[in-house]
Chains A and B, each alone.
Chain A
Amino acid sequence: MNRVQNTKLVLWLMTGFAAAIALNRYVFGLGVTTNLNDKTPWGFWIGFDVMAGVALAAGGFVTTAIFYIMKREEFHPLVRPAVLTAFLGYLAVVAGLLVDLGLPWNIWHMIIYWNPHSPLFEVGWCVMLYTTVLLLEFSPVPLEESSRYARVRNFLMRFRFPLVLLGIMLSTLHQSSLGTLFLIMPYRLFPLWYSHILPIQFFISAVALGLMMVAFESLISHWLYRREPETPLVGKLCGAAVWVLAVYFIVKMTDIVAAGKFGLIFNGNWQSDLFIVEILVSTLIPMALFAVPKLRRNSKVQWVGSSMVVIGMVLNRIDVGGLAMLDSTASYTPSWMEIAISLGIVSAAALAFLFVTERFHIWEIRPEDPQSLPHTPPSFDYSSRTWLGVPRIASLTKHTLAFVLSFAVGMAFMPGRKLHAEGIDSVTVSRATGIDTLCIDGNRDDQFVEFPHQAHISWIRTHKIPTSPADDTSGFALAGKDSCSVCHHLNLPGERLSECWECHASMYAQADFFRHDWHASPAGAKLKCDDCHTAGVTRTAQSAKKCTACHPFYKFTTIGVGATPAYHILSYTDAMHKMCVSCHVVEAKVVKDKQDLALCTTCHRVGTPPNLRAGMKWDISVPHFDNVVLPDVGLSVK
């Protein structure tokens, strides 16, 4: 029975790991845990957890239809495990949705806010109702354990046939409606997958997948618990699957040929390759295998065939759900965190399945509980030879440890940089056309301004005080190669860049740009206090030397409101005006038919009195700021 225990250990490990990642997803949001983006807002979680999950749980309605409607009594051993799988499968789907939804606590909104036009609304309602139906269908099983609940159980059993019928009807709707979801995006889905009969294709493939999932599950539990194999029954399922797969293949191919898309299959691009692989794995190869009666009664072939259908159909749902994109610029590969959470949800569902099968009457012959056997050997830790308690306690200890350890590993594995940078990409910088300056996105809202980057850094590049006017290239420069950190705050989280207004801080007054710390720093100018300040006098700006004493060729600000020859840089308004206005004034003289270029009112339009509009020329001394947007607080000055 070690096989069961080891499997559980692995499942607990995956669950613990996923729990840690899920915690991070709720704390830090979708952006840092997934690779989802504005081009591919749906990804692995929708494709695998939701769409494939619902399809995988189709075994429930298929089996109940075979047993209760078609009265094939021989399938009785498969009904309970199939309904249980379906129930847990739908719970897993809901869990997957709760991870994927941006606002999962609003999931109940579908009950009160209705939009019947939406296929998702219909899917949501069907899933809600069907999960309830499955719960009611399954609950007689645990209730039969005690005679105390006999009345409740009898009451439920009376409604079993209507419940089964309702379950089949609801399944028909939402299995197909999952295909309807994609009908509205013909421009998004690759044509080989897009089809107007996608809902029908989804339904047929769900039936095939449901049959194969029941078979697959029987095979796994047979392996896991070393049960008597149900080979002849599974063989019958495989035989039925041949017909369903054949119908699926014919419907799909007819549709592709009728729509004139047949040539796309052999296009040779990755989408066409993917399509061929998908069709081969999900349909053609298993169909060929199971079509031979001798082969489909062989349990090894059953293994191969059923797992191929399961993998192939899951691939189909993932393809439709976001992988097979038409837009070649959209790039999405699921992040490892997305896959880890999905695996964790599946593991948790599998653990729940094992828990229920070991405690309730799911199979005709209940698996032997290893821990209840009187002769199980005592459990020791292999390395330390410590007795771990009675077997039940020992396995509990091991599983808890597995969960806790993998949870810790999961927390440790979170990429810290990604968390803190919150997905910040590098700042957009490009060269301005025709000018030897950079165009930077000053406040990162796509408002590019010409930014004399070199001038900002070049002065005293070599740590030398300029001795001739030729050395001095610009009036506004920072302190050479050390100056990077002034704007590129490498010490700040997220490597945020200073925005223009952080230095050109005041709207109208000029800002102080003197960097005292750099001048005093041993790594900078290496000046002692007395080098600038007069010794013995209180050290203030007034008691210090003028800048020009050391930087004789420094060009001081000469434009702007209250321009003073001091260590000042332009105000924001002046800096911005200099960028636009200086050019406008020059151009107005050149371009004869656009004299308005130099008018204030060309840019400042709103609110300017009409009598002023006509004659206003650029005059720096007149504050005219209608409709000017302040960069730092985002207010419009009127």
Chain B
Amino acid sequence: MSKAILTDVTKCIGCLKCVSACKVAHNLEMDVPRVWDKNDGLSAENWTSVIRKDGDRYVRKQCRHCLEPACASVCPVGALHKTEIGAVTYDSAKCLGCRYCMMACPFGIPRYDWDKTVPHVEKCILCYDRIRIGEQPACTQACPTGATMFGDRDELLKVAHRRINENPSKYIKRVWGEHEVGGTSVLYLSDIDLDFLTYPTRPNGAALPKETAAAMESVPYAFVGMGGVMLGLSWIIRRRMKMDKEQGKKKEPSDE
């Protein structure tokens, strides 16, 4: 069963206990602001952050654990992997540091240890070690108001839609993460627009790996096709040259 996190922005009080719990659970170091940080609070030492918006709204940012993750599809060695339970995990032993995942992520989530001599990609792994043995992630466990909660994705979607239906005036009628880039395992309910969490012009709907799929599927055809064309071309030219030579030979005696 695919697990997921549902975050209700209207319930978040911005206490940052999730951030703190995440740091403890993953043994992350104290954070130092760096010139290469983005301004959303995420960093190599902060796998989740809380963004403050106007009107005392707090939006938790973390890896969205896409159902069809772009990062996992582009990783040349498969260091990133979408597990059956829903988490997109990272295997630092496989990683070679190409940072293609960071380029490909539509939410701009993965962070890099730019200051380290042996750097790795850093991102939320949905507390894979905990959820695998039936516990819930550190962040949802720490939340004092129940703003962010853990469960089966289908059930959380039901919960989200029930909340919207029960309180249509309170929420924007949309569950963020239900359809974006093919659906994500981290869902949001909100009364403010959450499109700032992704890049501006992301066409909604289709999962990103589909963008490369067509090109990648045509690779064998291009390979064989180019070989065939070249072989054919070579054969034709050789044959023509041979015929030219033979004709020349034939012509020679006639010329004499």
Q: Is the CB of A447 within 8 A of B20?
A: yes
Q: Is the CB of A37 within 8 A of B37?
A: yes
Q: Give A69 to B232 CA distance when docked, in angstroms.
A: 9
A36 in contact with B96 given A117-B209, A183-B212 (CB within 8 Å)? no
Q: Is the CB of B114 within 8 A of A29?
A: yes
Q: Is the CB of B200 within 8 A of A184?
A: no
Q: Which of B4-12, B98-106, B127-135, B148-156 binds A?
A: B98-106
Judged by a CB distance under 8 angstroms, whether A110 is at the interface is yes
Complex contacts, A386 vs chain B, CB 8 Å: none
A31 in contact with B30 given A69-B237, A115-B76 (CB within 8 Å)? no
A169 in contact with B226 given A101-B96, A106-B96, A424-B32 (CB within 8 Å)? yes
Judged by a CB distance under 8 angstroms, whether A293 is at the interface is no
Q: Is the CB of A28 within 8 A of B32?
A: no
Q: Is the CB of A41 within 8 A of B78?
A: no
Considering the complex, give the chain B residue whose CB is closest to the CB of A28.
B117
A120 in contact with B114 given A38-B36, A184-B74, A326-B199 (CB within 8 Å)? no
Within the complex, which residue of A185, A494, A605 is in contact with B103, where a contact is CB–CB below 8 Å?
Answer: A185
Complex contacts, A454 vs chain B, CB 8 Å: none
Judged by a CB distance under 8 angstroms, whether B248 is at the interface is no
Q: Is the CB of A31 within 8 A of B233?
A: no
Q: Is the CB of B102 within 8 A of A41?
A: yes
Judged by a CB distance under 8 angstroms, whether B21 is at the interface is yes
Task: List residues of A (21-58) whose CB comes within 8 Å of B's CBs.
Answer: 26-32, 36-39, 41-42
Complex contacts, A184 vs chain B, CB 8 Å: 70, 73-74, 104, 208-209, 211-212
Judged by a CB distance under 8 angstroms, whether B19 is at the interface is yes
Judged by a CB distance under 8 angstroms, whether A357 is at the interface is no
Task: List residues of A (407-449) whose CB comes within 8 Å of B's CBs.
Answer: 422-428, 441, 443-447
Considering the complex, give the chain A residue whose CB is closest to the CB of B226.
A172
Q: Is the CB of A29 within 8 A of B77?
A: no
Considering the complex, give the chain B residue whose CB is closest to the CB of A106.
B96
Judged by a CB distance under 8 angstroms, whether A334 is at the interface is no
Considering the complex, give the chain B residue whose CB is closest to the CB of A605.
B144
Judged by a CB distance under 8 angstroms, whether A181 is at the interface is yes
Q: Is the CB of A444 within 8 A of B31?
A: yes
Task: List residues of B (34-56) whose CB comes within 8 Å of A's CBs.
Answer: 34-38, 41-43, 45-46, 49-50
Within the complex, which residue of B35, B95, B142, B234 is in contact with A69, where a contact is CB–CB below 8 Å?
Answer: B234
Q: Is the CB of B115 within 8 A of A69?
A: no
Q: Give A101 to B76 CA distance when docked, in angstroms.
A: 13
Q: Mark A117-131, 1 if CB is under 8 A from B, else 0.
A: 111111010000000
Q: Is the CB of A30 within 8 A of B78?
A: no
Q: Is the CB of B112 within 8 A of A183?
A: no
Nearest-CB distance from A41 to chain B (Å)? 4
Q: Is the CB of B116 within 8 A of A425?
A: no
Q: Give A337 to B78 CA distance when docked, in angstroms.
A: 31
Complex contacts, B102 vs chain A, CB 8 Å: 38, 41
Considering the complex, give the chain B residue whose CB is closest to the CB of A179.
B215
Q: Is the CB of A446 within 8 A of B198?
A: no
Q: Is the CB of A70 within 8 A of B233?
A: yes
Contact size range, B? 35 or more
Complex contacts, A41 vs chain B, CB 8 Å: 99, 102-103, 112
Nearest-CB distance from B222 to chain A (Å)? 6
Judged by a CB distance under 8 angstroms, whether B201 is at the interface is yes
Task: List residues of A (156-215) whose CB comes within 8 Å of B's CBs.
Answer: 165, 168-170, 172-173, 176-177, 180-181, 183-188, 196, 199
Nearest-CB distance from B80 to chain A (Å)? 9
Q: Mark A90-134, 1 if CB is under 8 A from B, else 0.
A: 000000000011111011011001111111111010000000000
Most chain A beta-carbon neighbours within 10 Å: one of B32, B42, B97: B32
Within the complex, which residue of B15, B76, B95 is in contact with A103, where a contact is CB–CB below 8 Å?
Answer: B95
Q: Give A41 to B105 CA distance when docked, in angstroms.
A: 11
Most chain B beta-carbon neighbours within 10 Å: one of A119, A120, A183, A445: A445
Q: Is the CB of A102 within 8 A of B241?
A: no
Nearest-CB distance from A513 to chain B (Å)? 22
A124 in contact with B76 given A38-B102, A65-B230 (CB within 8 Å)? yes
Judged by a CB distance under 8 angstroms, whether B238 is at the interface is yes
Q: Give A110 to B21 CA distance when docked, in angstroms.
A: 35
Complex contacts, A447 vs chain B, CB 8 Å: 16, 19-20
Within the complex, which residue of A32, A114, A186, A199 is in contact with B203, where a contact is CB–CB below 8 Å?
Answer: A186
Within the complex, which residue of A199, A425, A428 is in contact with B35, where a contact is CB–CB below 8 Å?
Answer: A425
Task: List residues of B (128-169) whose CB comes within 8 Å of A's CBs.
Answer: 141-142, 144
Judged by a CB distance under 8 angstroms, whether B65 is at the interface is no
Q: Give A184 to B212 CA distance when docked, in angstroms.
A: 6
Q: Give A30 to B114 CA distance when docked, in angstroms.
A: 5
Q: Give A326 to B198 CA distance when docked, in angstroms.
A: 13
Within the complex, which residue of B113, B144, B216, B230 is in contact with A180, where a contact is CB–CB below 8 Å?
Answer: B216
A629 in contact with B237 given A26-B117, A168-B226 (CB within 8 Å)? no
Q: Is the CB of A185 within 8 A of B30?
A: no
Q: Give A186 to B198 CA distance when docked, in angstroms.
A: 12
Q: Is the CB of A115 within 8 A of B230?
A: no
Complex contacts, A183 vs chain B, CB 8 Å: 211-212, 215
Judged by a CB distance under 8 angstroms, whether B253 is at the interface is no
Judged by a CB distance under 8 angstroms, whether A627 is at the interface is yes
Q: Mark B107-123, 1 if CB is under 8 A from A, else 0.
A: 01001111111111000
Q: Give A445 to B33 CA distance when docked, in angstroms.
A: 8
Q: Is the CB of A115 within 8 A of B99?
A: no
Q: Give A326 to B223 CA distance when docked, in angstroms.
A: 33
Q: Give A636 to B26 CA distance when docked, in angstroms.
A: 12
Judged by a CB distance under 8 angstroms, whether B24 is at the interface is yes
Within the complex, which residue of B199, B215, B227 is in contact with A169, where a contact is CB–CB below 8 Å?
Answer: B227
Considering the complex, give the chain A residue whose CB is closest to the CB of B71.
A184
Complex contacts, B234 vs chain A, CB 8 Å: 68-71
Q: Give A629 to B144 CA distance when docked, in angstroms.
A: 14
Q: Mark B204-224, 1 if CB is under 8 A from A, else 0.
A: 000011011111100100110
Judged by a CB distance under 8 angstroms, whether B243 is at the interface is no
Q: Is the CB of B23 within 8 A of A445?
A: yes
Considering the complex, give the chain B residue whose CB is closest to the CB of A176.
B222
Q: Give A260 to B210 CA distance when docked, in angstroms.
A: 22
Judged by a CB distance under 8 angstroms, whether B254 is at the interface is no
Within the complex, which residue of B21, B103, B115, B141 is in contact with A629, where a contact is CB–CB below 8 Å?
Answer: B21
Most chain A beta-carbon neighbours within 10 Å: one of B27, B203, B222: B222
Judged by a CB distance under 8 angstroms, whether B249 is at the interface is no
Q: Is the CB of B112 within 8 A of A103?
A: no
Q: Give A196 to B212 CA distance when docked, in angstroms.
A: 9
Closest 9 CB pairs of A and B: A102-B97, A31-B114, A37-B36, A187-B199, A113-B77, A121-B76, A41-B102, A106-B96, A115-B78
What are 7 sample pairs from A and B whose C-beta atoms fall under 8 A apart? A31-B115, A38-B108, A109-B96, A170-B223, A173-B219, A428-B33, A629-B20
A residues adjacent to B (C-beta < 8 A): 26-32, 36-39, 41-42, 65, 68-71, 100-104, 106-107, 109-110, 113-122, 124, 165, 168-170, 172-173, 176-177, 180-181, 183-188, 196, 199, 326-327, 422-428, 441, 443-447, 494, 496, 499, 602-603, 605-606, 627, 629, 634-636
Given contacts A100-B98, A165-B227, 8 further A-B contacts (CB under 8 A): A38-B38, A38-B43, A103-B97, A106-B94, A119-B74, A173-B219, A180-B215, A445-B19
